[in-house]
Amino acid sequence: MDNATLIGLASIVTAGLTTGIGCMMPALSEGKSVSSGLQSIAQQPDAAPTITRTLFVGLAMIESTAIYCFVVSMILIFANPFWNHFIAK
């Protein structure tokens, strides 16, 4: 195999792993945080607005990790910075 094929293969495999793992782990942590938030609301109903607000901020932070992984995988597939370096050789 030539260098361009190897770079393409490595980019596609890396993009798949990045999307798979990078979206699976935040989804699991979002489920755990929602579960903990609901349990906290059940124990302290008076603090529900504060818990809900904090939960939504935390969920946004967790979701941003998945979005960053998705963006990195799209860059590796469609705008790979390594192509020009290896094609020029």
The CATH number of the domain where 46 resides is what?
1.20.20.10
Q: Is residue 57 part of a domain?
A: yes
Q: Is residue 77 part of a domain?
A: yes
C-alpha 64/C-alpha 50 separation (Å) is: 22
Q: Is residue 72 part of a domain?
A: yes
Residue 65 contacts residue 28 (beta carbons within 8 Å):
no
Given this model, what pLDDT does residue 89 score? Answer: 65
Given this model, what pLDDT does residue 45 score? Answer: 94
C-alpha 70/C-alpha 50 separation (Å) is: 31
Given this model, what pLDDT does residue 40 score? Answer: 95
Given this model, what pLDDT does residue 78 score? Answer: 87
- Lookup: tokens for 43: 């124990």
C-alpha 84/C-alpha 89 separation (Å) is: 9
Q: Is residue 33 part of a domain?
A: yes
What is the residue range of 32's domain? Answer: 3-81
Q: Is residue 89 part of a domain?
A: no
Q: Is residue 11 part of a domain?
A: yes
List Cβ neighbours of 12 (8 Å cut-off, separation of 6 or more).
76, 77
| Overall domain count for the chain | 1
Residues in the chain: 89
Residue ranges, the chain, pLDDT below 70: 89
